[in-house]
Chain A
């Protein structure tokens, strides 16, 4: 059991508001970890801290990619975090809407390729090869995520479920060891959610990507996760396997409000 992400004592304040309050969390290699909690509990803020969009006020975030040394990543710029192998999706879909589906995924390859201006202008053999590799790689990812039939569509014209998938496709194009999914099932219908379940499992099993996700669809969370963290008011209020969580009265209270069974 290798821990690949360690978060210690993470605290984030906005003005007078404390969004994250001394939060601890670990992600284990090869696992699907879920973060749940009511609206406004600080889950997305947590993601933003990990991915470098916010710089936390206190605490440490340590990433240890499989086979590599452990390193502190808080304070890094978002693009460096991605380059280190942590990719993410966004809660309110942020695709490049006027680019095609394939191009969206190709952008994900940016940090794993290197040709520059001169290369592009001269278009030498290595540039052509790199470009071809990018296209093939991206197309394969589209196939894997099940949206390869939409390859030349503009991202903005995709149905909602496909847009969510494209976000995932784009993120895994950066070859992450850890993928952060921010409410991947939001707005999906039951069939799409089922397919998403399969996709996420496949990413873990076949591509060896560990997953940390924020999700509200409890059915999905319970069936997918190996480990669940429950967050409320920026604090961790519970953690454990799905089984533990279901039977934890604190969790039920946080979610449904008090005394649901009364």
Chain B
């Protein structure tokens, strides 16, 4: 039974939002032709929508509160359904085999267009996993991640343009440059507190983009660089179709490589130090961990992966310009990590697939894509900060 009180509350919320959205949602003006358009329909939609949503919101808040209480009093021995699937070999092995078959067959079953989209999704998986090292494991909120992506992309584009350097030589160079930029940018700023770090990295990201946009002699300005070579294979150049498939498999390879690396790092001395640093810096230092050095490693490593994917991005689109490297791109990668679950590999993969593929297939959605990214960040933080799949800690067995 929904109480009268609840209905009244929701009604008030609904009234409030109708008032709040009135100028932006209902009125649209065209100052040049002096036309005003009234869209009263929107007000009704907002009214009904917020009325219903306020019930959901309150219900979820209540559930969250109850959950907090329970976690405090009970031993939290329970793991979620998703975690159990991922932990138990019985489920795990068929799942991996199935995924492998689908991944291999994909480009031969679906069209080039689909394959190309999937490749993009795979790129975001790698970007997400890279950012996950920085944000998820080390707890450093990096809002300028896209800067390193740009470094990778431009280094291939410029090397290719000026010196005709091939994809495979540029890939390690992009990675190294990403790493170097990570160190250079990270060194001065990693002493800063969380929110300052976020803003400074955001500032750095914008500076790099603005420099690329304005420094015509170096980067060809806003018009960007075109006709970048697609990746070849020992000097063989592919047709467009073959190249798409080639790139797809290349990305599959990179995804697997990244998963292995991140997984190994997570369960290593360094990975543990990152997580500990996220939990409590002072205690970490008292344990003999060098704060700055450890953070710098995470930051630079994340940048390395962004640099690598940047090279691939340039090779895939064959055209780049500064407009591809805005703050929104960073925000999108961040929302992948947040949605999937900070620190969780499988979470990030699922997060990337949802956020990149869904808007592609649900065309009606695609306008609302960025809006939804924003909403996801808010909703996840308020109701499920650990993401879809929370990070699982490894357990050890000992025989006495």
Question: Do A and B interact directly, with beta carbons closer than 8 Å?
Answer: yes
Contact check: which of A53, A87, A121, A170 meets B282 at CB < 8 Å?
Answer: A53
**Contact in complex: A152, B282 (CB < 8 Å):** no
**Contact in complex: A77, B285 (CB < 8 Å):** yes
**Contact in complex: B280, A96 (CB < 8 Å):** yes
**Contact in complex: A110, B279 (CB < 8 Å):** no
Which chain A residues border B279 with CB–CB below 8 Å? Answer: 96-99
Which chain B residues border A99 with CB–CB below 8 Å? Answer: 272, 275-276, 279, 393
Q: Interface with B: A17-25, A100-108, A229-237, which one?
A: A100-108
**Contact in complex: A79, B290 (CB < 8 Å):** yes
Count class of interface residues, chain A: 35 or more
* With A82-B288, A157-B75 as contacts: A117 and B282 at CB distance below 8 Å: no
**Contact in complex: A96, B264 (CB < 8 Å):** no
* CB-based nearest B residue for A157: B75
Looking at B269, B285, B398, which has the most chain A CB atoms within 10 Å of its CB?
A: B269
Which chain A residues border B276 with CB–CB below 8 Å? Answer: 96, 99, 103, 107
Interface check A151, CB cutoff 8 A: yes
Interface check B213, CB cutoff 8 A: no
State how many angstroms separate the Cβ of A81 from the closest Cβ of chain B: 8
Interface check B265, CB cutoff 8 A: yes
**Contact in complex: A111, B289 (CB < 8 Å):** yes
Q: Interface with B: A37-45, A131-139, A205-213, A252-260, which one?
A: A131-139
**Contact in complex: A51, B288 (CB < 8 Å):** no
Interface check B364, CB cutoff 8 A: no
* With A99-B393, A151-B396, A154-B76 as contacts: A87 and B286 at CB distance below 8 Å: yes
* CB-based nearest B residue for A121: B261
Complex: A214 Cα to B45 Cα, angstroms: 64
Mask for B280-301, Cβ within 8 A of A = 1, else 0? Answer: 1011111111110000010001
Interface check B395, CB cutoff 8 A: yes
Contact check: which of A77, A110, A153 meets B272 at CB < 8 Å?
Answer: A110
Q: Which of B259-279 contact A (CB under 8 A)?
A: 261, 264-265, 268-273, 275-276, 279
Complex: A103 Cα to B391 Cα, angstroms: 14
**Contact in complex: B396, A107 (CB < 8 Å):** no
Q: Which of A66-114 contact B (CB under 8 A)?
A: 77-79, 82-83, 87-88, 90, 94-100, 102-103, 106-113
Count class of interface residues, chain B: 20 to 34
State how many angstroms separate the Cβ of A123 from the closest Cβ of chain B: 6
Contact check: which of B75, B290, B396 meets A102 at CB < 8 Å?
Answer: B396
Looking at B276, B282, B287, B396, which has the most chain A CB atoms within 10 Å of its CB?
A: B287
Which chain A residues border B286 with CB–CB below 8 Å? Answer: 51, 53, 78-79, 82, 87-88, 90, 94, 171
Contact check: which of A111, A123, A135, A151 meets B288 at CB < 8 Å?
Answer: A111
* With A123-B264, A152-B395, A157-B75 as contacts: A110 and B269 at CB distance below 8 Å: yes
* With A53-B282, A88-B286, A95-B283 as contacts: A110 and B398 at CB distance below 8 Å: no
Interface check A174, CB cutoff 8 A: yes
State how many angstroms separate the Cβ of A126 from the closest Cβ of chain B: 12
Some 21 contacts from A to B, beta carbons below 8 A apart, are: A79-B286, A79-B290, A90-B282, A90-B286, A95-B280, A96-B283, A97-B279, A98-B279, A100-B395, A103-B275, A103-B394, A109-B269, A111-B288, A117-B270, A120-B271, A121-B261, A131-B268, A139-B398, A153-B75, A154-B76, A157-B75
* Residues on A facing B (Cβ under 8 Å): 51-53, 77-79, 82-83, 87-88, 90, 94-100, 102-103, 106-113, 115-117, 119-121, 123, 127, 130-131, 134-135, 139, 148, 151-154, 157, 170-171, 174
Considering the complex of A and B, which 9 residue pairs feature the smallest CB-CB distances, nearest first?
Answer: A111-B288, A120-B268, A82-B288, A78-B285, A96-B279, A94-B283, A152-B395, A107-B276, A96-B276
